[in-house]
Amino acid sequence: MSAGLVSMQALTPSAFDHLEALGDRLRARLSDSIQSRQAPFCVTGAASLFRIHTKRRPPNDFREAYASPGEADVMKAVSRYFATQGIIIPSATSASLSTPMTLAEMDHVADVFDRFLETQSASYESLRS
């Protein structure tokens, strides 16, 4: 309980503003990469949460968000690629940001995703149809 109390005390309005700014920056950069490469992905989330979907449009409910076996394979490829770059990202769930992170980390994550889209297009070509 002591750790929980300290955490709650550290989450000041400015900390929440910081997390929201990081999330907004990351979601925008990921979306820009998807759009510029016309890749079959989309990004959803709010505040410190984000999720990359193997869908062209954001899902409206959990049924639409459910990944087909092929889509799940693509997200595993995304997750593995991120891991080779020192970033752990879940392959089937939302990811969250934390208060020690900076805009530099958001740019790094976005740059890694852009390189994935550029260099690994064969791994997601099946989603283009």
Q: Which CATH superfamily is domain 14-124 in?
A: Aspartate Aminotransferase, domain 1 (3.90.1150.10)
Angstrom distance (rounded) from CA 20 to CA 26:
10
Q: Each residue of 56-112: pLDDT tens digit?
A: 999 999 899 999 999 999 999 999 999 999 999 998 888 999 999 999 999 999 999
Helix H, strand E, coil C: the string for the chain is CHHHHHHHHHCCHHHHHHHHHHHHHHHHHHHHHHHHCCCCCEEECCCCEEEEECCCCCCCCHHHHCCCHHHHHHHHHHHHHHHHCCCCCCCCCCEECCCCCCHHHHHHHHHHHHHHHHHCHHHCHHHHC
Percentage of the chain exceeding pLDDT 90:
84
Residue-range domain boundaries for the chain: 14-124
pLDDT of 129 over the 90 cut: no
Average pLDDT over residues 11-27: 95
Angstrom distance (rounded) from CA 19 to CA 21:
5
